[in-house]
Chains A and B, each alone.
Chain A
């Protein structure tokens, strides 16, 4: 006699430890195996795009902090790039360097969070996560020196940055840049060749290059598939064309590759910071702009390589003091479009880590 079985539908989230916030996956399981996944968005929708239409161009900077709240610096950068394109604002050299330094620091911090939470989702009881947070803390302290805030920095302004780095910032940055490689070594020593991590992540959740490009996946997820695409090189903004760095890629695009790419990107970010510290000139940190920026009628798209992928702001101006329309191309959201293909057929435990390795932040998904 055959035992009758039937698929079970489970709501993973919006309250669930591994959904990176308030994300919901309506998953159909056959035993432990995932049959179908239906992502449900919108639990953190705050109407950022609409709110931006009622604020001046400078005020919108604070809204961008709250998109991807673990990498506020790159959000700021993407937005101010769009405004500068729209209004034709020049940026002083020193400000450009400060922007690059702070965004690369932010990239390290964001990748630390991604790695720590991936390990947490693998079941390592908080230890790797706490190690990652310990180092991230040092980066946040640097941010505090720069602008007084740690998470929601609002450091960048159209035409420059908020203020120059204080005197004691540079020695602290030097110290961090010196200490960080050892720390990344330590992290890699604990994780990269760990039997259990390998058994869990190797060949799990493979994303092919074709599929990634078709779904316009960007960032470490795309690079893990072997596609060497990085906006910092493809469309060099700020001073990325004056520094040397590699774009690390993965071999087959599995969960393990996504982890490896992130770790290697942290190393490259340190390289960039080192070179920027050597090259940074003295001078202004902000060009003179009107308090109410009134860009000419038109539109502009500014994008940067955020830790999650291509973060873009499309701004339309009607000549007023607030954007007529502000569209955000958020990498977290677009990287999620491959989720159903990635997850079908894997087990529940794999679902959690594949989802974790996409490294989404709900503030950016729902906007």
Chain B
């Protein structure tokens, strides 16, 4: 089913085997440790370097969206801009406000960044990724992304700044709310792939789940863009209201860590979407799986960037409404539909789902999604456009010329 395994990616067993061969039997533990460090190093640097490139890409692309140039001074096409940014951040004074809780203040950016790395470790970039075979991968992802909330609250609370506090309070309310539909959307994926490991989710994903359950895909993308707090859900930072929200008081490298984590978020989200809904590294032809994976993630990344460049922000109560009155019932509906379909369609003996079962599910789910979207837009959208016609107030007194 897996076909030819492509050698690359975070191949822990390969690295371990190499060091194990070099060392005597009694030093197995050392080889294990060294391989582990190399793996951690690779994961962290892969993510940090791709984030650096992504910051450049995002700023250039936003420039194009906004009919301006974007960074173009440092290096060809401004490619060295991330390096210049880092140098600037490192040379800034690292300030801690007077009344701040110093330890929590310092810890917050570290916690914030660490969660990103932890989640990224579980993404199967190729068919021989070892860490992604963790058998509770999906639960792990849900659990670790919730730690974000804590980091934001730590930063906001310890800063002893009212704007930071506003941002943190909003953040806690919003992130906790959006975790529910996100987890329910992931639960539907787990049901359909009959696995909790990100690796098996991909191997069992003969048909991309985006086609099988479009509603779950929509819910996940909406909830995930709230989780990474970008427009239209960027009320944690909401530059025009709070200055910069929970990290108002941060400067220097601590601020750089927050920026890193914030730019990491879209990469991680698009990787998760590519894994859960776009069948990960699966592809056709001689092109290696990693390339397929990166391509799929890039498409999602560009879509997220497009959202960011286009939409205004919602108000805090509207965002909560959208989570609890919109996404939450929809995700329950989706979970119920998927579970029922699986119960009816699966092989009664082995419990396996064939490709044709998947396509049947896709047909039903697309119908459900269409009906739901139509109903929702009928219910909410039309009402918004109804306005009284303007009529001149009787208080108007512009003389005979008034029309």
Q: What residues make up the interface of A, taking CB atoms closer than 8 Å to B?
A: 8, 10, 16-18, 32, 119-127, 129-131, 134, 193-200, 202, 209-210, 213, 225-230, 233-234, 236, 246-252, 257, 347-350, 352
Contact = CB atoms under 8 A, between A and B. Distances in A.
Contacts of A230: 398
Interface string B294-329: 000000000000001111111111100000000000
Given A124-B231, A199-B318, A209 B388 contact: no
B391 interface: yes
B384 interface: yes
A17 B240 contact: yes
> Sorted from nearest, which 9 A-B pairs have the closest CB atoms?
A123-B313, A122-B312, A130-B66, A226-B393, A124-B312, A228-B396, A251-B390, A209-B393, A121-B240
A18 B312 contact: no
A228 B384 contact: no
Interface in B15-67: 62, 65-67
B232 A196 contact: yes
A349 B62 contact: no
B315 A350 contact: yes
A131 B66 contact: yes
Contacts of B238: 123, 349
Given A130-B67, A199-B318, A348-B316, 14 more contacts: A16-B243, A32-B166, A123-B238, A125-B62, A131-B67, A195-B384, A196-B232, A226-B393, A227-B395, A234-B399, A249-B390, A250-B390, A347-B317, A352-B241
23 contacts: A18-B240, A32-B317, A124-B313, A131-B66, A193-B385, A194-B312, A196-B311, A196-B312, A196-B313, A198-B384, A200-B314, A226-B390, A228-B393, A228-B403, A229-B397, A233-B398, A233-B399, A247-B398, A251-B389, A252-B388, A257-B390, A347-B317, A349-B315
Nearest to B234: A123
A190 to B, nearest CB: 8
B373 to A, nearest CB: 13
A195 B392 contact: no
Nearest to B315: A349
A10 B162 contact: yes
B314 A120 contact: no
B132 to A, nearest CB: 33
Contacts, number: 140
Interface size class of B (residues with CB under 8 A): 35 or more
B239 interface: yes
Nearest to B241: A352
Contacts of A129: 66
Nearest to B239: A17
Contact of A119 (B65, B312, B401): B312
B315 A347 contact: yes
A129 B310 CA distance: 11
Contacts of A249: 390-393
Nearest to A31: B169
Contacts of A248: 390
Nearest to B173: A32
Interface of B: 62, 65-68, 162-163, 165-166, 170, 231-232, 234-235, 238-241, 243, 308-318, 381, 384-385, 387-393, 395-399, 401-403
B398 A228 contact: yes
Q: Could you say which of B234, B387, B403 has the most chain A C-beta atoms within 10 Å of its C-beta? A: B387
A123 B384 CA distance: 20
A123 B318 CA distance: 14
Contacts of B170: 32
B310 A124 contact: yes
B65 A213 contact: no
B163 A10 contact: yes
Contacts of B403: 228, 246-247
B241 A348 contact: yes
A236 B403 CA distance: 15
Contacts of A193: 385
Contacts of A350: 315
B97 to A, nearest CB: 16
A225 B393 CA distance: 8
B240 A198 contact: no
Nearest to A349: B315
Contacts of A209: 393, 395
A231 B188 CA distance: 63
Contacts of A234: 398-399, 401
Contacts of B235: 349
A348 B313 CA distance: 13
Given A127-B65, A352-B240, A227 B313 contact: no
Nearest to A352: B241
Contacts of B162: 8, 10
Contact of B396 (A8, A32, A229): A229
Given A230-B398, A247-B403, A348-B166, A32 B232 contact: no
B314 A199 contact: yes
Given A17-B243, A130-B67, A349-B238, A200 B312 contact: yes
A67 B313 CA distance: 32
Contact of B232 (A16, A18, A123, A347): A123
A263 to B, nearest CB: 13
A171 to B, nearest CB: 24
A126 B385 contact: no
A352 B312 CA distance: 13
B313 A122 contact: yes
A220 to B, nearest CB: 13
B242 to A, nearest CB: 8
Nearest to B235: A349
Contacts of A236: 401
Contacts of B62: 125-126
B22 to A, nearest CB: 52
